[in-house]
Amino acid sequence: MSMLELHDVTAGFGAVTVLHGVTMTVEPGEIAGVFGLNGAGKSVTLKTVAGLVPARSGQIVFDGVDVTRLDAETRVEMGLGHVPQGRQVFANLTVEENLRLGAYTLRRKQRSRYAAALDGVYDRFPVLRERRAQRAGTMSGGQQASLSVARALINEPRLVLVDEPSAGLSPKLQGDLRDILRVVKDSGVTMVLVEQNVAFGLSLVDSAHLLQTGTVVHSAPVGELDEETLATHLGIGRVLAGATGSALTARKAR
């Protein structure tokens, strides 16, 4: 059974339709990449899966369950995590308060598990344990990126939707983030990764879905992707295509 299926999902705001029928499948244990230009509908796709934007038609199936009409909180309880674009940490709250808020469904449903879940997150992100009393807004970009991922993981999701985690990070911090996301994947969590930075995304994903104006125009395992397809659908110029191409070659060699 697939971990996530989107069948012809449409969504929009008022008179504007943003998703014109998104269809894609994510297999258990994989990292599925969603790539596309600014405004293509990547974030809206993730929000629709998370239940933050309602699907107007179509179907979203999470681990065999039709969640299309379920609210966001229920989806979190079922094991769906979301790391929003821009990280959205609460700047004036401490690291631990941010994690506590992230775990609200866990605390409500299984209070006894919270301490262990918090410990588990701190084991995975030692920097957050060290800085648990620091206000999140005073942390570095890389530390805030870790916090935003940790906040989703504390509910022990089976599937996590990660929206542009590498944005604004230096190459060194992008490397650290890549290691973190690999550890998350290796722990058995399935991931949907949206990245504007296609080279970064390709270093992680097992499959790629190319989104153009609210429609998936191409889906393939990373081994079957080629530079030309990427360039065509992502409108990447020759220079960028070079970087993307070497990232693709490197990824296939792993």
Positions touching ligand ATP (CB under 6 A) are: 13, 16, 18, 36, 38-44, 85, 196
Tell me which residue of 152, 165, 18, 244 sits closest to 233, measured CA to CA: 244
192 binds, among ligand ATP, Mg ion, none (CB under 5 to 8 A by kind): none
Q: Out of Mg ion, ligand ATP, none, which partner does residue 251 contact, by CB within 5 to 8 A per kind? A: none
Report which residue type is found at 20. Answer: H
Q: Supply the minimum distance, in Å, between the C-beta of residue 106 and Mg ion.
A: 27
85 near Mg ion, judged by CB under 5 A: yes
- Select 41 or 142, whichever has its Cβ closest to ligand ATP: 41
Partner from ligand ATP, Mg ion, none binding residue 44, C-beta < 5-8 Å depending on class: ligand ATP
Smallest distance from ligand ATP to CB 241, Å: 18
Question: Are β-strands 190-194 and 31-36 bridged in parallel, bridged antiparallel, or unpaired?
Answer: parallel
User: Among the candidate windows 49-57, 61-69, 79-87, 197-205, which touches Mg ion by CB under 5 A?
Assistant: 79-87
In whole angstroms, the minimum distance from the beta carbon of 43 to Mg ion comes to 3
- Here the tokens at position 60 are 């979203």
**Measured between alpha carbons, how far is 235 from 139 in angstroms, rounded to an integer?**
35
Size of the site for Mg ion (CB under 5 A): 3
Contacting Mg ion within 3-62 (CB under 5 A): 42-43
**Strand 57-62 vs strand 4-13: parallel, antiparallel, or unpaired?**
antiparallel
Least Cα distance to 121 among 140, 138, 102 occurs for 102
Of residues 28 and 168, the one with the C-beta less far from ligand ATP = 168
- Residue number, 23 or 196, with CB nearest to ligand ATP: 196
* DSSP code string of 75-140: HHHTTEEEE-TT----TTSBHHHHHHHHTHHHHHH-HHHHHHHHHHHHHH-HHHHHTTTSBGGGS-
**Which CB sits closer to Mg ion, 99 or 216?**
216
Residue found under tokens 């990447």 = 236
CB nearer ligand ATP, residue 19 or residue 128: 19
Amino acid at 100: R
Q: Which does 196 bind (CB under 5 to 8 A by kind): ligand ATP, Mg ion, none?
A: ligand ATP
Return the one option of ligand ATP, Mg ion, none that residue 41 interacts with (CB less than 5 to 8 A, by type).
ligand ATP
- Are the beta carbons of 1 and 52 closer than 8 angstroms? no
Q: In sequence order, what DSSP letters do the residues of 174-186 get, joined into one string?
A: HHHHHHHHHHHHH
Q: Which does 13 bind (CB under 5 to 8 A by kind): ligand ATP, Mg ion, none?
A: ligand ATP
Residues binding Mg ion (CB under 5 A): 42-43, 85
